[in-house]
Amino acid sequence: DWGDNPLLTAGLPNEHPDKLLPELLSCSRGNASETIAERLHLRRSEPVILVRQLWRQRGQIVAIDEAFLPAERFDGLDTRYLRECGGVYAALQRHFAMRPKMLAEQLQAVDLQKEEAKLLQVSLPRNALLILRLSGNIAAEPIEWRQRYCLTDGRAYTIKSK
């Protein structure tokens, strides 16, 4: 779910990345807010699946994800599938024969809010890198909106050309 963009030691873009390990916090159903509906081309209040994951690197918490997916399209996606597959993208590939591709990604420096700081086990005030990603299917139809709050203490979100 990090694609080809690892967290590396800042200033060392060619180092071998340490593995990022996901920890599933929850998989729940809800209704799309106006913002989520707009991103995923849904109607407001249409059912969505929300997957929350914590990410660790070398045992330290480095990020938290909130991934929103259209519930109708991924009926049956649940905690069991996510644990079995090890992540959202692997579950989509394995159980729904869909390989997500990034349609757009934005990076923004933000101040963490109380809930995110608690999950990341840091004190406020604290800033983080917010990575917003829209992923789609092969026809470029939106299938996932992800918000990732990343702690970058000594690390850099690294984008490499292909």
Residue 161 is predicted with a pLDDT of: 78
Residues 6+ apart with CB under 8 A from 118: none
Integer angstrom CA distances of residue 81 from 25, 56, 143, 161: 14, 20, 17, 32
- pTM for this entry: 0.92
CA pair distance 91, 77, nearest whole angstrom: 8
Residue 1 is predicted with a pLDDT of: 72
CA pair distance 2, 45, nearest whole angstrom: 28
pLDDT digits (tens, 9 = 90+) for 72-81: 999 999 999 8
Kindly tell me the burial class for residue 130, based on how many C-beta atoms sit within 10 Å of its own C-beta (0-12, 13-18, 19 or more). middle
Residue 86 is predicted with a pLDDT of: 86
Of 73, 52, 44, the closest CA to residue 115 belongs to: 52
Half-sphere exposure at residue 142, Cβ-oriented, CA atoms within 13 angstroms:
19
pLDDT digits (tens, 9 = 90+) for 37-73: 999 999 999 999 999 999 999 999 999 999 999 999 9
CA pair distance 6, 57, nearest whole angstrom: 11
Q: What share of the chain is helix, strand, coil (3-state, %, to 5)?
A: 20, 45, 40
Q: What average pLDDT does range 17-27 have in this prediction?
A: 93
